[in-house]
């Protein structure tokens, strides 16, 4: 029998059978699949958000690509000032391609996950050389760019070029699994959810549709769903299945404090301020032990995030 893990108050983790979940009304769910939640209601909810972010106000392929890479692991509110700063420094693919990677990493300051900046810099160089400086429209060409996985490629294709594809990130998959399949995404196969998302896609405006789903998943249909303010609650399969009461557990994030990610971020931060430093000086500057800094530098050197000559560590060109 399939089971799920739950934590009981004041006890260790327990395993209970899935039968504890309210049984979906099969006929009702079949109806949801035949008549999915109204895309009009979702698009009407999205309408005032069409211009909520700078990349939406002028969605050129380059700006959409930059924003999607930034949004991969950072909240939209934090991305806004970083995005404005970035496109002011590098307003086009060609300007980004021509910039030393060290400059790109400096302008990336405040966003974290610095490998994204390096990948974006490499992607711009590839676009300049292989695609004449124009972000490619073709999904396969997009996916071949450094740092551009299937999700980012589909997001750029849909948002920048209006291609009828679904950018299936974790938020979009969660909304689709719940609204169409009446289940939490952990209870259904990814392939089934992706198929349901493709069927549900409103092809008249793929850009708005994808961004509406992303917003809904981020702000309303969160791991703990806020069905009371959801624009599609009246026709949502998850609501019909009686499941929202059972949802809402979040996986704990690994702690940032003391992590290698923290050490790496501190090293890149120090190198943004000075042209080069030794491992010892980096340790002194960042407050992290020398052996941890050395380990971080070794890993980042392999990834091309820092360059090392003799004892001197610096950002790459």
**239 is a site residue for ligand SF4 (CB under 6 A):** yes
Of 64-72, 121-129, 199-207, 228-236: span binding ligand SF4 (CB under 6 A): 228-236
User: Residues 66, 83: contact at Cβ < 8 Å?
Assistant: yes
Q: Is residue 178 a contact point for ligand SF4 (CB under 6 A)?
A: yes
Q: Which is nearer to ligand SF4, 93 or 220 (CB)?
A: 220
Per-residue x/- track, 118-157, ligand SF4 (CB under 6 A): ----------------------------------------
Stretch that binds ligand SF4, among 98-106, 162-170, 231-239, 264-272 (CB under 6 A): 231-239
C-alpha separations of 228 from 32, 231, 237, 252 in Å:
19, 9, 15, 25
The one catalytic residue in 68, 126, 285, 290 is 68
Strand partners, 3: 17
**68 catalytically annotated:** yes
- Is 179 among the residues that bind ligand SF4 (CB under 6 A)? yes
Q: Which is nearer to ligand SF4, 236 or 267 (CB)?
A: 236
CA dist 153 and 165 (Å) reads 10
- 225 is a site residue for ligand SF4 (CB under 6 A): yes
Our finding on whether 24 is near ligand SF4 (CB under 6 A) is no
> By CB under 6 A, how many residues form the interface with ligand SF4?
15
Applying CB under 6 A, the span of 4-12, 51-59, 105-113, 219-227 interacting with ligand SF4 comes to 219-227
Element (H, E) at 312: strand 312-314
Instruction: Give the Cα separation of 146 and 77 in Å (integer).
Output: 25
Report DSSP state, residue 87.
H
Stretch that binds ligand SF4, among 44-52, 85-93, 97-105, 172-180 (CB under 6 A): 172-180
Half-sphere exposure of 62 (CA within 13 A, CB side): 19
- Judged on CB neighbours under 10 Å (0-12, 13-18, 19+), 129 is exposed
Kindly report the backbone phi and psi dihedral angles of residue 117, in degrees, each rounded to the nearest multiple of 5, phi listed first: -65, -45
Q: Which two tokens stand for residue 211?
A: 């961004």
**What is the nearest approach in angstroms of ligand SF4 to the Cβ of residue 253?**
22
Interaction of residue 32 with ligand SF4, rule CB under 6 A: no
Between the alpha carbon of residue 51 and those of residues 29, 55, 297, the distances in Å are 34, 8, 41
User: Active-site residue numbers?
Assistant: 68
Q: Which spans of this chain sit near ligand SF4 (rule: CB under 6 A)?
A: 175, 178-179, 220-221, 225-227, 230, 232-233, 236, 238-239, 244
């Amino acid at each position: 029998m399939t089971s799920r893990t739950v934590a009981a108050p004041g006890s260790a983790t327990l395993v209970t059978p899935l039968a504890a979940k309210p049984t979906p009304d099969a006929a009702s769910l079949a109806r949801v699949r035949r008549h999915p939640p109204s895309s009009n209601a979702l698009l009407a909810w999205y309408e005032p958000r069409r211009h909520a972010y700078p990349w939406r106000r002028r969605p050129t392929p380059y700006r959409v690509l930059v924003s999607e890479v930034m949004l991969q692991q950072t909240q939209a509110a934090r991305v806004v000032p970083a995005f404005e700063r970035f496109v002011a420094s590098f307003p086009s693919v060609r300007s980004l391609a021509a910039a030393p990677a060290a400059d790109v990493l400096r302008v990336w300051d405040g966003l974290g996950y610095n490998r994204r900046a390096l990948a974006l810099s490499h992607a711009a160089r590839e676009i300049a050389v292989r695609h004449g400086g124009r972000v490619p429209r073709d999904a396969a060409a997009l996916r071949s760019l450094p740092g551009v996985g299937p999700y980012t490629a589909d997001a750029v294709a849909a948002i920048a070029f209006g291609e009828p594809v679904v950018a299936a990130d974790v938020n979009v998959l969660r909304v689709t699994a719940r609204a169409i399949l009446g289940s939490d995404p952990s209870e259904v196969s990814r392939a089934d959810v992706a198929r349901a998302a493709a069927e549900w896609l409103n092809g008249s405006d793929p850009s708005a549709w994808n961004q509406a789903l992303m917003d809904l998943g981020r702000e309303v249909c969160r791991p703990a769903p806020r069905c009371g303010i959801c624009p599609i609650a009246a026709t949502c399969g998850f609501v019909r299945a009686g499941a929202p009461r059972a949802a809402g557990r979040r996986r704990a994030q690994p702690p940032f404090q003391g992590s290698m990610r923290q050490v790496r971020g501190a090293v890149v931060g120090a190198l943004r301020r000075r042209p080069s430093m030794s491992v010892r000086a980096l340790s002194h500057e960042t407050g992290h032990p020398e052996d941890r800094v050395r380990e971080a530098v070794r890993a980042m050197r392999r990834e091309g995030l820092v360059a090392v000559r003799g004892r001197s560590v610096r950002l790459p060109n």
